[in-house]
Chains A and B, each alone.
Chain A
Amino acid sequence: DTAVSQTPKYLVTQMGNDKSIKCEQNLGHDTMYWYKQDSKKFLKIMFSYNNKELIINETVPNRFSPKSPDKAHLNLHINSLELGDSAVYFCASSQQREAFFGQGTRLTVV
């Protein structure tokens, strides 16, 4: 049983399109995150949710809209994709301690 699962694993799309990445955790954690990892491997936090409520929004363009229908799910919708959005997006969850990461979604915008 995968603790934090995200889909899809790979996503190739054209500029201007809209896409979504889904994330689910079965650990019962209250906090979920989205991180972006660029080509230099920097891991930057984008959003943090606690019990379905947005806690942190790290100056992410409003083309990115997270949605948490319940505390086990945190989806990421991206509008009008740009070349600079190409990266690996990681979902993670935690319960006031270590973060458990999903396998990542490699997004390539062409």
Chain B
Amino acid sequence: GQQVMQIPQYQHVQEGEDFTTYCNSSTTLSNIQWYKQRPGGHPVFLIQLVKSGEVKKQKRLTFQFGEAKKNSSLHITATQTTDVGTYFCAGDGTGTASKLTFGTGTRLQVTL
């Protein structure tokens, strides 16, 4: 079955440093979504990428979808303590959102 891996599993940065998490799927995806889960909370949708090579920005967050539509990345510039949480990519191989396979997640810790 489809597997979606993320690296690193965990990263601890000081506030102001940059952070990147990488997502790799074993199969080609119709689209990729990114979610953030705060400690004790539930996953919250951040963005969806659909096109090969697509790049989208949300303030300090930059999302990329690979040319082969099998990988993606999330980069945070100048992290803040409010960025703390676990970031998940989620792949949809069907295009109908009937099965979102979540990546293994990257837990980000930010300290002052």
Contact = CB atoms under 8 A, between A and B. Distances in A.
Q: Do A and B belong to a common assembly?
A: yes
Interface of B is mostly: strand
A101 B97 contact: no
A98 interface: yes
A99 B42 contact: no
Interface residues of A, number: 24
B43 A90 contact: yes
B102 A98 contact: no
A43 B98 contact: no
Contact of A99 (B45, B96, B105, B107): B45
Contacts of A41: 37, 86, 105, 107
Interface of A is mostly: strand
B100 A33 contact: yes
B33 A98 contact: yes
A23 B101 CA distance: 20
A35 B102 contact: yes
A94 interface: yes
Interface of B: 33, 35, 37, 41-45, 48, 86, 88, 90, 96-102, 104-105, 107
Given A43-B102, A90-B43, 20 more contacts: A31-B97, A31-B98, A41-B37, A41-B86, A42-B104, A43-B105, A44-B102, A45-B101, A45-B102, A48-B98, A56-B98, A56-B99, A94-B97, A99-B35, A99-B45, A99-B90, A100-B45, A101-B44, A103-B42, A104-B42
